[in-house]
Structure 1
Amino acid sequence: MAKTQYSFSHDPKLKNVATGFTIPIRSIRLSAGAGFLYPLLGDMQTMPGLGTRPGFWEVDLDPTGKVVGLF
């Protein structure tokens, strides 16, 4: 996907505001928790989502006062 000041299309060779083109969508993903769909274009990568249980639930102190469960 070319998103430069010279081209607003999927093709960086098309200059200015090109018309009459379609953007090739590689995949559509669901963000169920957020409640929306989002398209993936070209070589776009995504970051992994968060787990269902926050990590701080696994952190605790043992009887000697030592922190356990942190990493």
Structure 2
Amino acid sequence: MIPIFLKVEKGKIISGEIGTHSLRKTFGYHAYNKGVSLELLIQIFNHSSKSETLRYIGITEDEKKEVYLRSNLG
């Protein structure tokens, strides 16, 4: 576990511990939402399918649709 301290407001600090697995999943979630291809994330995580990776990073069907709508350059 890695100790973590976050400043959320002036003078307020949240402290706790976070595991490397949580960091890995969080990385995947944010990378996907910033446009990193699902195929690349599958390789990074060594998963065997798109559904496995999406489930792993916590992406729901609605969130997937939103990513595609936001990326429409139309």
The question of a shared fold, defined as TM-score above 0.5 by the shorter chain, is answered with no
Q: Which has the larger radius of gyration?
A: 1
Q: More helix by proportion, 1 or 2?
A: 2
Give the number of the structure with larger relative contact order, counting CA–CA contacts within 8 Å between residues 6 or more apart: 2
TM range (shorter): under 0.3
TM-score by length of 2: 0.20
